[in-house]
Amino acid sequence: MTQTIIWTVAILTVLGLLLALILFWVARKFKVEEDPRIDEVEKVMPGANCGGCGFAGCRAFADAAVKATNLDNQYCPVGGDDVMQKVASILGFTVAKKAPQVAVVRCNGTCANRPRTNEYDGVQSCRVKAALYSGDTGCSYGCLGCGDCVAACQFGALSMNPETGLPVVDEEKCTACGACTKACPKHIIELRAKGPRGMREFVSCVNKDKGPVAKKACAAACIGCGLCAKTCQHGAITVTDNVAYIDFTKCKLCRECEAVCPTGAIHGVNFPKELDKEAVKKRIADRKAKAAEAAKAAAEATAAAAKPAEKKEVANG
Amino acid sequence: MGKLTFSMGGVHPHDSKFARERAIEELPLPQTVYVSMAQHLGAPAKPVVAVGDKVKVGQVLAEPGGFISAFIHSPASGTVKSIAPRKDLAGNPVMHVEIAVEGDEWDPAIDRSTDLVTAIPEDKAAILDRIKACGVVGLGGATFPAHVKLNPAPGKVAECLIINGAECEPFLTSDYRIMVERPKEIVIGAAIMQKVLGGCKCVIGIEENKPEAIASMGAAVAELGYPGITVQPLKKRYPQGGEKQLIDAVMKRQVKSGGLPIDVGAVVQNVATSLAVYEAVQKNKPLITNVLTITGDKMPVERQHNYLFRIGVPLSFIVEHAGGIPDDAAKLISGGPMMGKAISNLDAATVKGSSSVLYLSEAATRRHPETNCIRCGKCADACPMGLEPFLLNRLYKAADLEALEKNAAQDCIECGCCLYSCPAHLPLLDNIRQAKGQVMGVIRARAAAAKAAAEAAKK
């Protein structure tokens, strides 16, 4: 009996030592050198693995960041500047602050604005619907309303408004990861600068049809009239393919375009005061009148200046 | 001769061919016709007329925009009013030539007599040229340019020309009517194609639910006496008229995944295409007319029609001419109930492939709420391509493109048998069609990358 116990203990001890040696050798031989900073960077990442940065997940982002020579090509939209600052301090880089962005739905084809022309009873998926036909309204560019963007959002920031039939972005929850912009087959969702205190101005329409066609399909469509582009003093608005676009890097939030838009396609959000259209229109009219006067005065001045010059020439001659 | 059919899958919907006894009537011309520049498979055609031009019936309006493309001719005489995008059947903008109709003046080169021309020209290249110049495309549904299909790549030999008279889609009767009313022209068209393909044998496949067509086509074949043409009755089963299914039924050969019918020595053309080939080669008449069925599940037979229409006539004009939309119609479909497309824009113009305006009642068309898959396997039994629709559906939802390709989502012919047979009313076809599109995108991207790499290696 004692003999058996001794043998058992001895064999197991020897076996354990032997295996430990093998493990030690394998661990030495096949050791994977990994930069410890990858772990550190991953720890400060949000850990959502949403892919909004363009990498497969937070670890892939961290891996790429450690290997990179600067952080110019990488940005975590979920974590924003805070996280990027932390990543930069770990890796010893510097990063410029980036304006926070938010998803913006550029369609205002509510049930009231955009009458339904037929009834869709197929699968409730925008992708399937878009592949079948142009949609259940006269507008072939606008929101299809099946909520592919809502399904794509991992942060619960999107929801369908049953009254309008359009998606609504919860600005608090939106991380600007861009998943919804990719999920939308009509490409109506855009990432735009959040703006100071959330104030921003955008054209809520992507309809490229000519004015009358667009207007017939939707009361709130951009008809490409170009009034906004003419009014804008900052060169922020361009009209291409019958639809206006506001460049948010140039927009100064003066809201003049919003006041002059005949269809109400331009939206301003989060402004403290409601837009007094008449006052803004008057302001524009006054400015135009002043400019016209100034131009007239300038023309007279040049004419006056030219006359003595002519006389001089005559005198010289 | 026994009745043949394909070897796997398929369903048996009620054939509902209510309009079968309605003889073909010629539809009058409206005031304006709209000719689409994208009414064939492949690259859209390029307009060769300008706004303000006077055109005659049969004059070329547009020339092919690529290798796989087709000529398009004017279906009416008049003045070109505009060349601009116009919404098609699905509401998407497509380039159209708008013609204000004035009178009915035909191009003098077209033989408009009804005399039968039985002598077939000798020169194969000339025949092919004529088919191409007349803009003939496959009228079975895919509208693939006929001259491309009838000119197999070097090294490929056609052993059998199959003329598709299956018309397996329920409701449609246009092919049936031309087989009953114009069998001789179809047989001559088949003989012409047979000649172009080098004198292979020719089988005209017709489903058993059309005994009159089998009889009339059989009589025409016997009377005209071209060698090597036979009429083959087929069992009634959907999708018998699918190209690969018909080859399986007639030749007992299966086209491999990603392959073409010519790989197994087959060329399939529809009976309507055969008629168009006859008119092109023997009468010099371009493809500007086709036959379309007006039918529905709750429609009295006297309101149903088979119309010979000019290609480019707006659907709304045809509907008005046929007495308007019936009250109990909930859905309008262009094509058959299985593969047709719902019409969301009735102002759309007819195209070469238009085969019907089908009115379905609420009861016939309403989708049932989907429930969970119960793994019964009915969809896999019904799939004529031997796919597993339930699996593809699941893989699509998981966005697993690699597995989708491995399970041959790209082989789906979109016949709708899976959806038709599913007791849980799952949107199998809708999802598999998406999956197919994604997989085809991957395959094309890979092929393009390989081609670019090969060219780079050459340099």
Which stretches does DSSP call E strand in A106-216? 158-161, 166-169, 189-193, 200-203
Nearest Cβ partner for A122 among B87, B89, B430: B430
**Rounded (10°) CA dihedral B218, B220, B224, B227:** -30
CA A29 to chain centre: 48
Instruction: List pLDDT tens digits, range A145-175.
Output: 999 999 999 889 999 999 999 999 999 899 8
Which residues 6+ apart lie within 8 Å of A124 measured at CB? A146, A147
Cα–Cα distance list, A147 to A115, A126, A144, A158, A160 (Å): 19, 7, 8, 9, 7
In A213-280 the beta strands, taken as DSSP E runs, fall at 237-240, 243-246, 266-269
Measured in degrees and rounded to the nearest 5, phi and psi for residue B133 equal: -65, -25
Residue-level pLDDT at A317: 40
Q: For residues B230 and B228, give the distance between their C-alpha atoms in angstroms, rounded to a whole number.
A: 7
Is there a contact between A128 and B430 if contact means CB atoms under 8 Å apart? Answer: yes
What is the identity of the amino acid at B306? Answer: N
Return the SS3 of B323.
Answer: coil
Q: In a structure prediction context, what are the per-residue pLDDT tens digits for chain B, which is 459 residues long?
A: 578 999 999 999 999 999 999 999 999 999 999 999 999 999 999 999 999 999 999 999 999 999 999 999 999 999 999 999 999 998 888 999 999 999 999 999 999 998 999 999 999 999 999 999 999 999 988 899 999 999 998 889 999 999 999 999 999 999 999 999 999 999 999 999 999 999 899 999 999 999 999 999 999 999 999 999 999 999 999 999 999 999 999 999 999 998 999 999 999 999 999 999 999 999 999 999 999 999 999 889 999 999 999 999 999 999 999 999 998 899 999 999 999 999 999 999 999 999 999 999 999 888 899 999 999 999 999 999 999 999 999 999 998 999 999 999 999 999 999 999 999 999 999 999 999 999 999 999 999 999 999 999 887
* B268 three-state secondary structure: strand
Place of tokens 């046929």: B322
Q: Which of A117, A125, A133, A207 to mutate to test the interface with B (most CBs of B within 10 A)?
A: A133
Q: Exposed (0-12), middle (13-18) or buried (19+): which is B326, by Cβ within 10 Å? A: middle
Which chain B residue has the Cα nearest residue A133?
Answer: B90
Question: Which is nearest to A40 in space by CA: A88, A97, A93?
Answer: A88
Chain B segment 120-159 residues within 8 A of A by beta carbon are none
Cβ(B227)–Cβ(B193) under 8 Å? no
Residues in chain B within 8 Å Cβ distance of A146: none
Q: How far is A128 from chain B (nearest CA, A)?
A: 6
Region for A66 from its dihedrals, namely left if φ exceeds 0, alpha if ψ lies in -120 to 50, beta otherwise: alpha
A297 touches chain B (CB under 8 A): no
- The tokens 């003045």 sit on which residue? B79
Which range, of A39-48, A72-81, B115-124, B162-171, averages the lowest pLDDT?
A72-81
Whether the Cβ atoms of residue B292 and residue B276 lie closer than 8 Å to each other: no
**Which tokens go with B305?**
């029609």
Distance CA B54, CA B100 (A): 10
| Closest chain B residue to A210, measured at CA | B85
Rounded to whole angstroms, the Cα distance separating A115 from A127 reads 21
**Among the listed residues B187, B385, B160, B158, the one whose alpha carbon sits nearest the alpha carbon of residue B251:** B160
Q: Which of B301, B302, B277, B298 is nearest to B287 (CA)?
A: B277
Map tokens 């529809």 to a residue: B270
Alpha-carbon span B144 to B163, nearest angstrom: 15
Inter-chain touch B434–A131, beta carbons under 8 Å: yes
Contact (CB, 8 A) for B306 and B22: yes
- What distance in Å separates the CA atoms of residue B62 and residue B97, rounded to the nearest whole number? 9
Query: Which uninterrupted H or E stretch holds B44?
Result: none
What are the chain A neighbours of B433 within 8 Å (beta carbons)? 128, 131
The answer to whether the peptide bond before residue B261 is cis (omega within 30 degrees of 0) is: no
Q: What is the pLDDT of residue B1?
A: 54
Contacts of A24 (CB under 8 A, 6+ apart): none
Assign B304 to helix, strand or coil.
coil
Residue A308 pLDDT? 63
B91: left (phi over 0), alpha (psi -120 to 50) or beta: left
Note the pTM of the prediction, 2 decimals.
0.84
The CA distance from A215 to A231, in Å, is 21
Q: Which residue of A has its CA nearest to B397?
A: A125
